[in-house]
């Protein structure tokens, strides 16, 4: 029995491979291609691996939906297959549309519906239950445990047991009758417990655990019409941005200035009718990622935040921090809803940050983030905060300094803030690629490696969590060193 033990959780799902995303998607000279291939050492061996997908090789068709700014609904962020459009139908209708059913049926029998799935599966990026729900289940459980504790009520012993069994199956990603029964047992218990819980907060959390159990059950049973409508959702709400970051692909396509080009028109933000539709069946949602550009530019962001918080949905936001002033911070704090947030820094000094993140004021960014973290501490909110940096030749020397800055910004170690380093994105956009060629740096490069090793040492010294592409930074460096040596 794991009643007492089942409280903790991992915040970070398994990291995707770090050098697997480089495809030759545009014409380039042989020399440039060779350079690019050398940079992604090791990927060809992976690419030659067998491509026999098992039945149900991806959970996304049962758990996920991406709603684009033009209203099209897609299975995930790596696939442009269209289930339908919220311009013409409701989200629940689209979820069981012939196109969605056909896509699901294909994945269920282990056949790639299209080339995007083939590539995604080949790179090990297909959605797993662990990547979708591991940290979320931990957060929901913590919410239930905290609310019960605050009310002086003991945790339900049977729920603890069922949850431990269910969560273990989610983490293992193993399919089969045992996983199916674990979902059923967890679902039964959550339904029973919900009827008896009087503390709203605890009931909410248990209810959402039940939603996840049902979504997992839909996946394990390969249901063509999953009962839960897209429990993890992303909506591309805003295309424009108030910053002009030099590594933003949208800068080179003009999207962040004039809006996204689709069907011969430019769309700057999702309209109100569609953004309301993106939240349909809000009770089915467990997490919502404000995809696209600066979410705080959407006129409805406050109302949407309130709707999500009222239904216990975890809101994920990425921001450049300029609009997250004291009033905006107060709105997020008052929502009290579970959320997670990323602040893009891309450097540790005023000169570097302002040269990369054009239109961003370093002083205001630091001031806003400091205030935000202080408010998290004051409200005792357990919100994972990420301070991110995309590695470029221009900023690579500032990795350790960013760790030190994060240490300085957090009011105390109870605030869950970490640093995350990422590589530059690749893109078929020619104008962006000229920039990419100048600025690309891989972690195997001696300068990057030395800087990241210094950052890892600083992180250890200051007790700041540092990640590289979702993986512990020190582990990632060791793994990369071993790969190169091997």
DSSP conformational letter for 269: B
User: Is there a contact between 139 and 314 (Cβ–Cβ < 8 Å)?
Assistant: yes
Where in 126-165 is the site for ligand SF4 (CB under 6 A)? 126-127
Closest CA to 320 of 300, 288, 289, 292: 292
Burial of 286: CB neighbours in 10 Å, binned 0-12, 13-18, 19+? buried
CB of 75 to ligand SF4, least distance (A): 4
| Window 111-130: contact mask with ligand SF4 (x via CB under 6 A) | -----xx--xx---xxx---
| Token pair 């609904």 in the structure block, residue | 73
Judged by DSSP in three states, 471 sits in strand
CB of 126 to ligand SF4, least distance (A): 4
CB of 228 to ligand SF4, least distance (A): 17
| Token pair 């949602």 in the structure block, residue | 285
Token pair, residue 455, equals 């950052």
Q: What is the dihedral of CA 208, 209, 213, 218, to 10 degrees?
A: 20
Cβ nearer to ligand SF4, comparing 127 with 293: 127
Bridge partners for 267 per DSSP: 260
Whole-number Å distance between alpha carbons of 409 and 230:
36
Where in 40-99 is the site for ligand SF4 (CB under 6 A)? 58, 60, 75-76, 78-79
Cβ nearer to ligand SF4, comparing 15 with 323: 15
Cβ nearer to ligand SF4, comparing 103 with 252: 103
CB of 29 to ligand SF4, least distance (A): 30
Cβ nearer to ligand SF4, comparing 123 with 370: 123
The alpha carbon of 484 is separated from its chain's Cα centroid by a whole number of angstroms, namely: 29
Residue nearest to ligand SF4 as judged by C-beta position: 120
Cβ nearer to ligand SF4, comparing 65 with 356: 65
Whole-number Å distance between alpha carbons of 382 and 377:
8
CB of 219 to ligand SF4, least distance (A): 12
Cβ nearer to ligand SF4, comparing 221 with 349: 221
CB of 289 to ligand SF4, least distance (A): 14
Burial of 369: CB neighbours in 10 Å, binned 0-12, 13-18, 19+? buried
CB of 132 to ligand SF4, least distance (A): 10
- Angle of helix 157-172 relative to helix 177-196, nearest 10 degrees? 140
Whole-number Å distance between alpha carbons of 71 and 271:
9
Cβ nearer to ligand SF4, comparing 43 with 79: 79
Cβ nearer to ligand SF4, comparing 117 with 239: 117
Closest CA to 222 of 174, 180, 169: 180
Burial of 166: CB neighbours in 10 Å, binned 0-12, 13-18, 19+? buried
Whole-number Å distance between alpha carbons of 124 and 9:
23
Cβ nearer to ligand SF4, comparing 108 with 213: 108
Number of chain residues interacting with ligand SF4 (CB under 6 A): 13
Cβ nearer to ligand SF4, comparing 116 with 462: 116
Cβ nearer to ligand SF4, comparing 59 with 365: 59
Closest CA to 439 of 244, 245, 248, 247: 247
CB of 117 to ligand SF4, least distance (A): 3
Whole-number Å distance between alpha carbons of 357 and 388:
12
Q: Per rule CB under 6 A, is residue 101 in the interface with ligand SF4? A: no
User: Is there a contact between 267 and 239 (Cβ–Cβ < 8 Å)?
Assistant: yes
Where in 307-346 is the site for ligand SF4 (CB under 6 A)? none
- Tell me which residues touch ligand SF4 (CB under 6 A): 58, 60, 75-76, 78-79, 116-117, 120-121, 125-127
């Amino acid at each position: 029995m794991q009643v007492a033990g089942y409280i903790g959780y991992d915040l970070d799902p398994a990291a995707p491979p770090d050098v697997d995303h480089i495809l030759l998607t545009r014409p380039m000279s042989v020399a440039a291609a060779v350079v690019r291939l050398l940079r992604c050492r090791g990927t060809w061996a992976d690419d030659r691996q067998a491509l026999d997908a098992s039945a149900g090789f991806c959970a996304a068709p049962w758990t996920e939906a991406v709603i684009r700014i033009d209203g099209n609904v897609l299975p995930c962020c790596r696939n442009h297959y269209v289930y339908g459009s919220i311009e013409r139908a409701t989200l629940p209708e689209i979820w069981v549309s012939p196109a969605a059913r056909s896509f699901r049926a294909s994945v269920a029998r282990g056949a790639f519906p299209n080339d995007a799935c083939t590539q995604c599966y080949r790179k090990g990026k297909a959605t797993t239950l662990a990547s979708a729900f591991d940290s979320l289940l931990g957060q929901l459980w913590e919410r239930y445990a905290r609310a019960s504790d605050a009310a002086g009520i003991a945790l339900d012993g049977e729920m603890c047991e069922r949850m431990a069994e269910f969560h273990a199956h989610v983490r293992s990603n193993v399919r089969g009758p045992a996983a199916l029964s674990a979902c059923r047992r967890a679902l039964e218990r959550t339904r029973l417990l919900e009827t008896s819980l009087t503390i709203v907060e605890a009931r909410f959390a248990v209810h959402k655990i039940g939603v996840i159990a049902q979504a997992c059950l839909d996946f394990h049973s390969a249901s063509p019409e999953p009962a839960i409508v897209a429990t993890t959702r992303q909506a591309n709400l805003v295309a424009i941005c108030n910053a002009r970051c030099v590594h933003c692909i949208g800068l080179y396509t003009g999207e962040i200035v004039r809006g996204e080009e689709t069907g011969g028109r430019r769309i700057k933000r999702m309209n109100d009718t569609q953004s309301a539709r993106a939240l349909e069946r809000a009770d089915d949602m467990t997490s919502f990622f404000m995809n696209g550009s600066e979410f705080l530019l959407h006129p409805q962001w406050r109302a949407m935040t309130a709707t999500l918080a009222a239904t216990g949905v975890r809101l994920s936001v990425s921001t450049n921090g300029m609009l997250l002033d004291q009033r905006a911070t107060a709105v997020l704090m008052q929502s009290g809803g579970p959320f997670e947030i990323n602040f893009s820094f891309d450097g540790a000094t005023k000169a570097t940050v302002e040269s990369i993140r054009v239109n961003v004021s370093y002083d205001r960014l630091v001031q806003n983030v400091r205030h935000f973290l202080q408010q998290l501490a004051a409200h005792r909110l357990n919100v994972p905060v990420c301070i991110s940096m995309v590695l470029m030749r221009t900023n690579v020397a500032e990795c350790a300094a960013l760790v030190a800055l994060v240490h300085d910004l957090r009011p105390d170690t109870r605030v869950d803030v970490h640093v995350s380093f990422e590589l530059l994105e690749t893109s078929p956009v020619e104008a962006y690629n000229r920039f990419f060629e100048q600025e690309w740096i891989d972690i195997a490069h001696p300068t990057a490696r030395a800087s990241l090793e210094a950052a890892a040492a600083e992180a250890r010294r200051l007790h700041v969590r540092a990640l590289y592409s979702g993986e512990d930074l020190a582990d990632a460096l060791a793994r990369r060193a071993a790969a190169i040596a091997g």
